[in-house]
Amino acid sequence: AQSVTQLGSHVSVSEGALVLLRCNYSSSVPPYLFWYVQYPNQGLQLLLKYTTGATLVKGINGFEAEFKKSETSFHLTKPSAHMSDAAEYFCALKANAGGTSYGKLTFGQGTILTVHP
Check binding of 42 to another protein (CB under 8 A): yes
What separation, in Å, do the N-terminal and C-terminal C-alpha atoms of the chain show?
Answer: 41
Q: Is 46 in the site for another protein (CB under 8 A)?
A: yes
Q: Single out the segment in contact with another protein by CB under 8 A; choices: 18-26, 29-37, 64-72, 79-87.
A: 29-37
Per CB under 8 A, contacts with another protein among 74-103 are: 90, 94, 96, 101-103
Asked if 45 touches another protein (CB under 8 A), the answer is yes
- Burial of 72 per CB tally in 10 Å (0-12, 13-18, 19+): middle
Least Cβ distance, residue 18 to another protein (angstroms): 25
Report CA Rg, the chain: 14
Rule CB under 8 A: is residue 70 a binding residue for another protein? no
Residues within window 3-22 making contact with another protein, judged by CB under 8 A: none
Q: What is the per-residue burial (b if ≥16 Cβ within 10 Å, else e) of 78-104?
A: beebeeebbbbbbbbbbbeeeeeeeee
Question: What are the helix and strand counts (H, E) for the chain?
Answer: 0, 11
Residue 113 touches another protein, criterion: CB under 8 A: no
**Binding region for another protein (CB under 8 A):** 32, 34, 36, 41-46, 49, 51, 90, 94, 96, 101-105, 107-110
